[in-house]
Amino acid sequence: MTPLAWTVASSVIMALIALLGATLLLLRPATARALILPLVAFAAGSLIGSAFFHLLPDALARAGGGLDIWLLCTVGFAVFFALEQVLHWHHHHSGQRRRERPLTYLLLLGDSLHNFIDGVAVAAAFVTDIRLGITTTIAVAAHEIPQEFGDMAVLIHGGWSKARAVVFNLLTSLTFLVGALLTVALATAINVSYLVAFAAGTFLYLGATDLVPEINKLGDLKRNLLNLTMFSLGLGAMYAAAVLDA
């Protein structure tokens, strides 16, 4: 399969994961809550592991080292920080709640931009090396599963009908394909190792500042140990994949 074919296949997987969020509607609320945080912990580990064990080493190897790679990684981190400052659906004003309808639109807008950049990251990885693309897709998918559960919950609580929430959540996933195809089209005109480094920065931001704080809020030792175990499994899975690829 060509990098383009792999990229399109990964886009289909992301669309299916978006539909997976609809299964939240079939679960009891207590069951859904019990599943989400361990999945978030695994996603955090897999994103951070993918950045350190796959994306950065590959970008450094292809670029011959140098500060440029670290600079692009930092830029990726900073861009996602800026995006959250502008678009984050958590508004910290007093009295503002997640169920407010305007926040649901901000959520969808933020997800669309996030999925676009994920598409850029995955496509850049596939153009660089098919095995790198596969591990990057796994890391993104691990992050998307708990996010889709959470997004669906926010939309429903924000007053959306179940059918409308499913449709719009699926539509936001299509920006992944847009970013991916754009990256494949421009691959010959740009240094792909720079895109891989940029993607590493976004993965580090998502894992370390978005997901890890979510699993650090509990006071229950048993659940904290479960989340730590899942986080470690995410890291371990990415490390094992890197060792097997070596």
Give the pLDDT mean for 12-35.
Answer: 78
**Dihedral angle over CA of 241, 242, 244, 246, nearest 10:** 160
DSSP letters along 188-226, please?
Answer: TTS-HHHHHHHHHHHHHHIIIIIIHHHHTS---HHHHHH
Q: Using CB atoms within 10 A of its CB, is residue 135 exposed (0-12), middle (13-18) or buried (19+)?
A: buried
pLDDT higher at 111 or 233: 233
Q: What is the predicted pLDDT for the residue at 212?
A: 87
pLDDT higher at 53 or 211: 53
The C-alpha atoms of residue 142 and residue 211 are separated, in whole angstroms, by 12
- pLDDT-derived band at 86 (thresholds 50, 70, 90) equals confident
- Identify whether 231 is part of a domain: yes
Residue found by looking up tokens 């990684």 in the block: 73
- Identify whether 49 is part of a domain: yes
- Identify whether 26 is part of a domain: no
SS (H, E, C) 12-55: HHHHHHHHHHHHHHHCCHHHHHHHHHHHHHHHHHHHHHHHHHHH
Residue-number span of the structural domain to which 127 is assigned: 3-13+36-245
- Identify whether 30 is part of a domain: no
Residue 243 pLDDT exceeds 80: yes
Number of compact structural domains in the chain: 1
- Identify whether 19 is part of a domain: no
The C-alpha atoms of residue 148 and residue 111 are separated, in whole angstroms, by 10
- Identify whether 113 is part of a domain: yes
- Identify whether 22 is part of a domain: no
Residue 194 pLDDT exceeds 50: yes
- Identify whether 18 is part of a domain: no
